[in-house]
Amino acid sequence: MATIAGASAEAIRRRSRRAVRRFAIGFGSGLDTPRLARSLTDARNIVEELTEGGVKLNIGGSLHDPTDPVGRLLFNVLGMIAEFESDLIRMRTREGMKVAKAKGRLRGKQPKRKPAQEAHLVELWRAGKHTSAELAELFSVARSTVYRAVQRAGDPKPARARKT
C-alpha cells in the first residue's frame, strides 16, 4: 500500500471521509489545513477525495469549487501555508531541543530498570548461567535491553549459558 507523508493511503482516505462527513453535517466552520494535511502532496490527495464528496471551500462567505481554477488555487495556497506552518513547528522544535541539550536538560527516555536491577542483570549475565532470552524474560524486558545493559556495564561480549 502506498504511503503519503507517513500515513497509509487508506488512513488518508478515512481522514478525508471524516472531513467530508463533518462538512456535510455542518460541524466546524472551516477547514483546518494544518491538521488535515501534513504536506502539499497530502493536501492535494485529500482535496481530490473531498472534491469527489462534493465539498466546497467557504472563505468569508463565498464558496469556492475545487474543480475550477480559482478554487484549485485557493486549496493549493492553503496547502502550502499548512506545509509552511508544519515546517516552522518542526524547525522550532529542533531549535528548542538543541538549546535544551546544550543546557543539559534533554536526557531522553529514562531507563526502565533501577540501577540495582541492572547491576543484578549484568551479574547474572557474567555468571553465564542464563541465556539473554532467559534474562529478558526474568526481568520483563526485551533481549536488546539485556544487551544494552551489559554493554553499558562494559562487558560487550556475552558469556555462554551452560545447559544442565
Read off the CATH number of the domain in which 160 is found. Answer: 1.10.10
Are 54 and 135 in the same domain? no
22 pLDDT band, cuts 50/70/90, is low
Which has more confidence, 79 or 130? Answer: 130
**Whether residues 93 and 49 fall in one domain:** yes
Question: Left if phi > 0, otherwise alpha if psi is -120 to 50, otherwise beta: which for 162?
Answer: beta
pLDDT at 152: 86
Domain boundary among 86, 102, 118: 102
Please state the domain count of the chain: 2
The CA distance from 30 to 7, in Å, is 23
Longest dimension (CA), the chain: 81
Segment 82-88 mean pLDDT? 87
Q: Are residues 74 and 133 in the same domain?
A: no
Residue labelled with grid coordinates 471524516: 18
**69 and 97 inside one domain:** yes
Domain region containing 53? 3-102
Q: Say if CB 71 and CB 64 are below 8 A apart.
A: yes
Based on the domain organization, do 23 and 75 belong to the same domain?
yes
Instruction: Let me know whether 84 and 7 are in one domain.
Output: yes
Banded pLDDT at 154 (limits 50, 70, 90): confident
